Structure 1
């Protein structure tokens, strides 16, 4: 099953060289185990555009969709055999010590969704 790791932190967070090296090392380990599928950091929330279409009209807003203290900073797609394996992989991610990581399962069979 695939899981999206949604990595969030507040505005006071600033990555350093050590953390960056640790993330690269985590990526290599997870790739070698066949868990890591894809991931990237995101540009700052100030670069975001939020769109909504209501009654056929486009509503465009600068910035992220929610006004919270923690913003989405990165995402990682992983594939694990069990939810516990996904949680373990997320707990080993260096950002777990510096930020918050949400582990969210991906819908695999959309026919069950509709």
Structure 2
């Protein structure tokens, strides 16, 4: 997701991408919904990396593996959240780019019609 966000950032900066402003709100809404779901998971983050004392030997190894997995999951959740926020920023920039291009085109038509 982070790589996709970087690709969108480059496309926006080079003006190779612009997004219809009507679609931006829908995309931002969906990204916010994703972040809300991540927040629900994050609130239970302690449970993800809980070091359970379930006995010795093989059970101890499973508990360690579960703790390691949980810690990695927490990092991934945080990374995804940052990537979503970055993507939202790039989408907003794209909206601004679209608006600027649209206004420039409108100004050009005004000049052609002698109304500037």
Normalised by the size of structure 1, how large is the TM-score? 0.26
Return the structure number with greater helix share: 2
Normalised by the size of structure 2, how large is the TM-score? 0.25
Greater CA radius of gyration, 1 or 2? 2
